[in-house]
Amino acid sequence: MLKSSKEIFEILSKGAFISVNSTDELNRKYYDLIEDDLDAYREYYEGVGFILESGNGYFYFSRTEQKVSMGEKLSRFCDWIDRLDFLKTFNSSFESGYVFTKSKILERISCDLELKEKAPKLYSDKKSHEEIVDKLIDDLSKMGFIEVENEVDGSFRVTAAFHYLEEMVNCLNVVEGADALPE
């Protein structure tokens, strides 16, 4: 039996990531366990219908999707593109290892017209900038893209899993002036 396979499954099956630079010592331990025996973990999880994927300092699960759910997946991905755009507008250095606070984001929204315009588009059901930033931080945390670094000052660190978003966006090939995708 592979070490901590149940605990690793519980994290990854929820759509979260395990990152090399996690602030959580246990997550870093899980990362090392997977990295040390990647083929065995891949084979093990494949047996229960999950594909263990690796990226630049992170692991996650993927599954073969039916076309019906691919549309839903694409819609969710578009939401993440907007979030990534917002975060890179907030600070172009927003990447693995970057440390930030909620108050810093709110401060920048208050004095940056571009951020002020982008914020409401992230979550149409949220009214205030604080609600939007709270929801964004919650979503980033749930996915494992950020983790609390210091509870006292309310700082968060961006994990290596954030590369996943950046890599997915970099895979997009946008053709300027194109009206529609070929059928």
What is the CATH classification number for the domain harbouring 136?
A: 1.10.10
Q: Cα–Cα distances in Å, from 101 out to 26, 119, 152? A: 23, 16, 11
- Domain of residue 118, residue span: 67-171
Q: Does residue 98 lie in a domain region?
A: yes
Q: Do 88 and 153 sit in the same domain of this protein?
A: yes
pTM of the prediction?
0.80
Mean pLDDT of the chain: 89
Query: What percent of the chain clears pLDDT 90, i.e. is strictly above it?
Result: 74
The string of pLDDT tens digits covering residues 15-74 is: 899 999 999 999 999 999 999 999 999 999 998 889 999 999 999 998 766 555 666 767
Please give the share of the chain, as a percent, with pLDDT higher than 70.
Answer: 89
Token pair for 22: 């996690």
Q: Give, in order, the Cα–Cα distances in Å from 46 to each of 40, 63, 67, 121.
A: 10, 9, 21, 38
As for how many domains the chain has, the answer is 2
Q: What is the dihedral of CA 88, 139, 60, 8, to 10 degrees?
A: 140
